[in-house]
Each structure stands twice: as structure tokens, then as C-alpha cells.
Amino acid sequence: MKIDFSKMLHSSTITFDPIKNQFDYNKTFQPTMKLNADGAIAIAQYESLSLTVYDKDSNTGQNTTIGFGHLLHYGAIKVGDIQSITMDQAVSYLAKDIVVAQNTLNQKIENSGLTGQFNRSQYLALVDMTFNGGNVVDNILSAMKSGGVKSANSAFTNSYLNETNGGLKDRRYFEAQAFINGRSLTPEQANAELVSLGLK
């Protein structure tokens, strides 16, 4: 699957001042970091594709979802929800969700004073964690800010060692390998390595 994200634009985001603990609505910045197509495809591989709507999967909230893990709304399917989408629509949803994750992450990186400190593989790991784990990425950025790369590496390692959900353990391991060793693993490769390490 070839996805072209090169022409996607980033929306402006509002700068948050962590010292004042408030937003400065008069100052915006344009995020400059973004994934390439390979990074987007890597994320897509860890999201089960469904062209029909569902609300029962590995997530405990049983939220209404479609495409590559695109959240339609919280809670069970409602009357009036779309029932199916095309592959093109699924890719479009994925693209938009990745942009949201990137903007959210870039905001956090900027606010943490960590701009320019991550290479492409590390950025992929951080975007995927933001895309899938939400605020879990805050632990990584906090570790990076306080203890540098070594501390961030440990935080990534702990993220998969402490994960009990099998599918999420694969994903946290993928992120750790991307961040620490610059490796991009498929879900099958991540699972096989965890099994060989005796962690599954």
C-alpha cells in the first residue's frame, strides 16, 4: 500500500507555557516534523483495518471505530452511524489521524524544550505512541528532558516490559526498537522477537 503524505499540511497549534500553566493564544507555531510514507505505513500495520464499523475489539471502552483504528465516537455503535467505508476513505481517515497525532506530539516536544533532539526513527516511535497510546508519550518526553536519551530508552523498554495486553506489548516493543535501535518491525516480527525473548 503506497500512501503519499508529502502534501499534507499541518494546522497551527497554540503554544502552551508550562511555567505559567496556561496557553498563549496570541502565539502559534507550525510543526515542522512529520512522518514520511514509510512511517505512516508502519503505523497502519499495527492498526487492524476494518472497512465496516465495530465497537468490540481489544480496547476496554468498546468505542465505535472504523478503518485503521479511526475513532468515530466513544461508546457503542448508534443508530445513524456510518456502517462501511471504502479503502480510500480509510486511508484518508488514517492520514488525518496521523496529522492530529503529529501536531499533538510536536506541541509537546516544543513545550518540553526538546525540539530538534529526535531523529526520524525516534520520531516515528513517538508519533506511534501518541497515535495509539495518547498521553503515555508524556512519560517518554519527561524522561528525555530529565535524563537524556539513556533515560528515554529505559522508559521505552519499561513500556513493553510492563504491558500485559499482547497486542499492545507488540506495539510498545516496536516503538522501543524504533527509538533505541532504529529498527522498524512488522507486528509479526515484534511478536516473534518477544516470544524468543521469553516475554510472551
- 79 burial (CB, 10 Å; 0-12 / 13-18 / 19+) is exposed
pLDDT of residue 116: 86
Helix 166-181, helix 120-133: angle, nearest 10 = 160
Residue 93 belongs to some domain of the structure: yes
Per the listing, cell 508529502 goes with: 6
pLDDT digits (tens, 9 = 90+) for 164-199: 998 899 999 999 999 999 999 999 999 999 999 999
Residue 18 belongs to some domain of the structure: no
Residue 27 belongs to some domain of the structure: no
Where in the sequence is the domain holding 90, given as residue range(s)? 33-197
pLDDT of residue 48: 82
DSSP 136: G
Residue 173 belongs to some domain of the structure: yes
Low-confidence spans in the chain with pLDDT less than 70: 1-32, 57-61
Residue 25 belongs to some domain of the structure: no
pLDDT of residue 15: 56
CATH number at residue 111: 1.10.530.40
Report the C-alpha gap between 67 and 84 in whole angstroms.
Answer: 9
Residue 24 belongs to some domain of the structure: no
Number of structural domains in the chain? 1
E strands in 7-153: 13-17, 22-29, 49-54, 64-68, 70-73
| C-alpha closest to that of 191 among 170, 160, 164, 162 | 170
Residue 137 belongs to some domain of the structure: yes
pLDDT of residue 9: 46
Residue 62 belongs to some domain of the structure: yes
pLDDT of residue 148: 96
